[in-house]
């Protein structure tokens, strides 16, 4: 009651207070300009950016703008400013342009572009899209600025070693599909790849369920859109396995860092049934645009990959201040320069504060998502155990109909498909089962089935001591690691591989010597396989 009285008494005063305006960074475009003549590429890119800025300025930019010199143009909120720093080692040009939203009052869009030319290297290009608004919730669909396409068409733009294209990449051969698979697994890749597959019975074999052209334009410079016809989806399935592939009209966002052993749940998949209606397609495009925009901010570093306009203006004013001091300028001129630099530093502090707030908010969101995911994992583990117990109570053998893998290439995927919720291979183990020397694949698979059933059931019952020297299959037993135990990390947590399955005898022949090192996760009720199938060399062995 007291809080209500205070709130009612303060409401008239709060209504008169100015609204809090926050600046949000929407996206970042980072790359290097193409062309053999670096100076011409940079000049062409600056000109395209200026053309774009003038269309939104409500007037004509001053002559010094077109000479790529510093300028300031004020036009009733549609303001533009540029600075340039030229030294013997570098030539850096940066522009900042404001543009009030045409529909939402008090929402102002700000675009920053920086083009830097260094000695002996391709010109570096970066752009930032920001918005200032008093809105409590920002409801937008991110879209890269139009000048990015003009820069791509006139100068070319490259992300690491991949050309950025304004058009979706259509796969029309097996070689193309294999190159895309290589790109997806490339650890140097910095942009998400949005793979849109085509339904098998589509009238047009190159027409996915989503508008690929519109998506490519909206995400130009922050993602690569790929159209993958049904005839070539098997290439990804063979390379990465069914869980990490995409087919049948579905779409998938492959983030940087993807590989053969990546968690399939990080690289989000939307199945065909969910995007086959206009509403579903619109929702999918919306989350893709929002996701890649957020990734562009998270994966680029302000001050390194991207230079802010305020930082460059501050550096420019610092150089000017030094020149005035050396040149014996008057106190008035020095004071004016000092005040201008102070304003620039204040803008830089504001910019960096907004960046810190963004990452703090993202951290909070990720922490909340992690907590929810952990709760869901616990609930799923509990539900899996309930279902397994019901099957056993009904007299069914859990793995009676499982077919054992016949080659190592399908081994990890076999584990994913048949042992999910009971046993998991960490990335290191997944890598080592791709092409090991150990010959008896079925023996290794049966050992994992024993871990998923007998071993796991005893663990859930609260004891593992009774598993010491337990026979697994003929000639193979379960044993404590002793001095061979080791710690490992999985999904942000530290575990200990203190047990292992081992073949009998003293042989170290990798073709006949089996070792499966594992630990236990209480949270999810799973066996965590840290290494297999070879003997692990440690200080004790």
Per-residue pLDDT of 254-312, as tens digits, reads 999 998 878 788 899 999 999 999 999 999 999 999 999 999 999 998 888 888 888 88
d(CA 58, CA 431): 58
Residues 95 and 127 both lie in one domain? yes
Residue with tokens 């139009």: 146
Mean model confidence pLDDT for the chain: 85
Residues 141 and 95 both lie in one domain? yes
Q: What is the pLDDT of residue 23?
A: 82
- Decide: 258 and 184 in contact? Cβ < 8 Å: yes
How many of the other CB atoms lie within 10 Å of CB of 443?
18
Residue 348 has pLDDT above 70, yes or no: no
The count of domains in the chain is 3
- Decide: 103 and 34 in contact? Cβ < 8 Å: no
Q: What is the pLDDT of residue 14?
A: 47
DSSP secondary structure letter of residue 243: G
Residue 85 tokens read as: 């720093």
Q: What is the pLDDT of residue 349?
A: 63
Look at residues 298, 316, 332 and tell me which one is the last residue of a structural domain.
Answer: 298
- Domain housing 281: 160-298
Q: Say which residue, 401 or 96, is predicted with more confidence.
A: 96
Q: What is the pLDDT of residue 57?
A: 86
Residue 541 has pLDDT above 60, yes or no: no
Query: Is 386 inside any structural domain?
Result: no
d(CA 126, CA 312): 13
d(CA 156, CA 122): 11
Q: pTM to 2 decimals? A: 0.73
Q: Rounded to 5, what percent of the chain is helix, strand, coil?
A: 40, 20, 35
Residues 201 and 135 both lie in one domain? no
**pLDDT per residue as tens digits for the range 414-454:** 888 888 888 999 988 988 998 899 999 999 999 999 999 88
Residues 412 and 433 both lie in one domain? yes
C-alpha separations of 302 from 126, 309, 352, 356, 486 in Å: 10, 11, 9, 11, 39
Could you list the beta-strand ranges (E) of 426-492.
470-473, 476-480, 486-490
Question: What integer is the mean pLDDT of 323-334?
Answer: 66
**pLDDT per residue as tens digits for the range 201-231:** 889 999 999 999 999 999 999 999 999 999 9
* Separation of CA 321 from chain center: 41
Look at residues 298, 322, 354 and tell me which one is the last residue of a structural domain.
Answer: 298
Could you list the beta-strand ranges (E) of 259-389.
269-270
Which phi and psi angles does 260 have, rounded to 5°?
Answer: -60, -25
Which phi and psi angles does 515 have, rounded to 5°?
Answer: -140, 130
Q: What is the pLDDT of residue 370?
A: 58
- Enumerate residues 6+ apart whose C-beta is below 8 A from 142: 26, 27, 129, 218, 289, 290, 292, 293
Look at residues 278, 298, 318 and tell me which one is the last residue of a structural domain.
Answer: 298
- Decide: 432 and 503 in contact? Cβ < 8 Å: no
Q: What percent of the chain has pLDDT over 70?
A: 80
Length of the chain: 541
Residue 250 tokens read as: 């579905």
- Decide: 439 and 511 in contact? Cβ < 8 Å: yes
Residues 468 and 512 both lie in one domain? yes
d(CA 81, CA 68): 11
């Amino acid at each position: 009651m007291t809080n209500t009285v205070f709130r009612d008494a303060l409401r008239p005063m709060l209504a008169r207070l100015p609204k809090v305006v926050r600046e949000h960074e929407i996206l970042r475009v980072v790359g290097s300009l193409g062309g053999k003549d670096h100076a011409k590429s940079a000049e062409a890119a600056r000109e395209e950016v200026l053309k774009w800025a003038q269309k939104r300025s409500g007037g004509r930019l001053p002559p010094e703008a077109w000479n790529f010199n510093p300028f300031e143009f004020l036009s009733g909120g549609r303001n533009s400013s540029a600075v340039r720093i030229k030294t013997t080692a570098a030539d850096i040009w940066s522009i900042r342009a404001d543009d009030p939203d045409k529909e939402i009052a008090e929402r102002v869009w700000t675009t920053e572009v920086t083009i830097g030319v260094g000695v002996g290297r391709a010109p570096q290009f970066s752009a930032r899209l920001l918005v200032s608004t008093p809105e409590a919730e920002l409801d937008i669909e991110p879209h890269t600025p139009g000048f990015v396409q003009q820069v791509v068409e006139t100068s070319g733009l490259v992300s690491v070693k991949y050309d950025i294209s304004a058009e979706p990449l259509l796969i029309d051969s097996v070689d193309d599909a294999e190159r895309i698979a290589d790109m997806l697994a490339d650890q140097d890749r910095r942009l998400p790849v949005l793979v849109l597959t085509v339904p098998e019975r589509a009238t047009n074999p190159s027409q996915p369920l989503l508008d690929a052209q519109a998506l490519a334009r909206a995400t130009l410079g922050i993602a690569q859109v790929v159209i993958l016809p049904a005839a070539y989806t098997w290439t990804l399935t063979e390379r990465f396995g069914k869980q990490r592939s995409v087919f049948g009209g579905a779409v998938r966002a492959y983030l940087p860092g993807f590989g053969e052993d990546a968690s399939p749940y990080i690289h989000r998949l939307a199945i065909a049934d969910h995007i086959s209606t206009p509403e579903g397609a619109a929702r999918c495009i919306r989350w893709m645009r929002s996701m890649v925009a957020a990734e562009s901010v998270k994966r680029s570093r302000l001050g390194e990959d991207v230079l802010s306009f305020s930082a460059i203006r501050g550096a420019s004013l610092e150089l000017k201040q030094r020149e005035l001091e050396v040149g014996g300028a008057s106190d008035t001129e020095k004071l004016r320069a000092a005040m201008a630099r102070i304003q620039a530093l204040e803008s830089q502090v504001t910019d960096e504060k907004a960046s810190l707030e963004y990452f703090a908010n993202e951290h909070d969101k990720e922490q909340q998502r992690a907590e929810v995911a952990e709760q869901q994992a616990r609930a799923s583990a509990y539900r899996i155990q309930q279902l397994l117990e019901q099957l056993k109570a009904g007299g069914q053998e859990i793995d009676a109909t499982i077919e054992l893998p016949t080659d190592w290439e399908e081994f990890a995927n076999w584990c994913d498909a048949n042992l999910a919720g009971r046993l998991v291979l960490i990335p290191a183990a997944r890598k080592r089962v791709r092409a090991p020397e150990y010959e008896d694949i079925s023996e290794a698979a049966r050992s994992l089935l024993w871990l998923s059933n007998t071993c796991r059931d005893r663990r859930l019952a609260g004891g593992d001591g009774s598993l010491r020297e337990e026979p697994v299959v003929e000639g193979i037993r379960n044993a404590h690691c002793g001095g061979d135990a080791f710690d490992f990390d999985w999904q942000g947590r530290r575990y200990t591989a203190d047990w292992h399955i081992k073949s009998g005898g003293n042989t170290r022949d990798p073709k006949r010597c089996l070792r499966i090192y594992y630990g236990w996760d209480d949270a999810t009720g799973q066996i965590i396989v840290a290494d297999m199938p070879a003997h692990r060399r440690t200080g004790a062995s």
